[in-house]
Amino acid sequence: MSTAVSIDEATRANPTRVPLHGRMHAWRRRTITWLLRRVMPPARNLVREGELPVAGIQRVLICRPNHRLGNTVMLTALMSEIESRFPGAEVDVLGSGGATRSVYAGFDCLGELFLLDRRALRRPFATIGTLRKLRAKRYDLVVDAAAGSSSGRIAASLARARFQLSVDALGSDVPTHFAARPVRALRRALGVADATPVPNLDLRLSAAERVAGAAALARVLRVPDPSGPTLAIFPNATGRKCLDATWWQTFVSELLARVGPLRIVELVAADGQSRIGNAYPTYFTSDPRKLAAFIDAAGIYVSADCGVMHLAAATSAITIGIFGATDPERYAPYGPRNTGFRSDDGCPVASATRAAAHLRGAIR
């Protein structure tokens, strides 16, 4: 796996590639990071390689104040790792966004959730109140789980903890994929061997949730028993990641020509509108766990890079992500049966060919 590069390095290496959220956003992040390095000295409780004890860690706080669904789901790998390393520990989470509670609901180790508004600076009293509640508790370990996150670093520094772990402490020797970074950081801090695979993303769906997902799929398809794989597509994404209706119609036709007949279901976005003219049966829910259970029952999922793609990767469904503006090495759907690939030329036929090749290998 190649070494990750920063936004600055990637932009210099490919000057025509504009950062996904714009150059102003990238400049603002660099400026805030520069200021924090000078205003906030390194924490005295920051652990380096081999300095974190393997015993005595009972109270853990994970700091990842980001409202995006995908970033929230990718932290389930770290949750699983903490459960494995410290099976008796309770894990609090500082997050953002309404989906946070739903995503982590399946983890028995979950303690208290501290949720910041996605526009925390515009709601200073609510933000201060949440951080005061966080600071009132004591922890054995606080994890700043996102490299380069100024808000995560500030929150981690405010928490009262014996040990603090920052993904940034890995230096340049970091995994490329964002789901793997905090897990590898924890292992290095513990001084343990780094050969075992990083845990898969996992929502810990219950048996009852899986049954309900299968029932919803049967209802949508209007069949009593939806045996055999169904292709769930989510033809929506933000900004430049979004692919139009014509692209999706061509992609599905070419994919079916290569893998044979599949039932197709369109997963509908939050606005409740089909992106491909209701060409296939549709399913809508505002509940991330219900959506995940539905995808799990379908068995196959395809979309552009988006939060729902990572949600699908946290189920048993074969998940395929199609990338244009973003980097699959960092954001591909994590897991051994999943894949993400670039479609810079925007050709749906080429994408269908690659997706079909992956499905033929994964379904065997």
Spatial contact of 175 and 1, defined as CB atoms under 8 Å apart: yes
State yes or no: pLDDT of 123 exceeds 80: no
Q: Is 45 exposed, middle or buried (0-12, 13-18, 19+ CB in 10 A)?
A: middle
Give Cα separations from 75 to 23, 159, 202, 347 (angstroms).
27, 19, 9, 32
pLDDT at 13: 37
Spatial contact of 232 and 301, defined as CB atoms under 8 Å apart: yes
Looking at the chain, which residues constitute the CATH 3.40.50.2000 domain(s)?
40-190, 207-363
- Is residue 31 very low, low, confident or very high in pLDDT (cuts 50, 70, 90)? low
CA pair distance 30, 35, nearest whole angstrom: 9
Per-residue model confidence as pLDDT tens digits over 264-311: 999 999 999 999 999 999 999 999 999 999 999 999 999 999 999 999
Round to the nearest angstrom and report the end-to-end CA distance of the chain: 26
Per-residue model confidence as pLDDT tens digits over 78-94: 999 999 999 999 999 99
State yes or no: pLDDT of 166 exceeds 60: yes
> What is the CATH topology of the domain spanning 40-190?
Rossmann fold (3.40.50)
| Alpha-carbon torsion (151, 20, 173, 179), positive or negative | positive
Q: What is the pTM of this model?
A: 0.85
Per-residue model confidence as pLDDT tens digits over 211-263: 999 999 999 999 988 778 899 999 998 888 888 899 999 999 999 999 999 99
Nearest to residue 334, comparing CAs of 310, 303, 357, 304?
Answer: 310
- Is residue 343 very low, low, confident or very high in pLDDT (cuts 50, 70, 90)? confident
Q: Does the domain at residues 207-363 carry the CATH identifier 3.40.228.10?
A: no
Per-residue model confidence as pLDDT tens digits over 170-179: 666 677 899 9
Spatial contact of 161 and 45, defined as CB atoms under 8 Å apart: yes
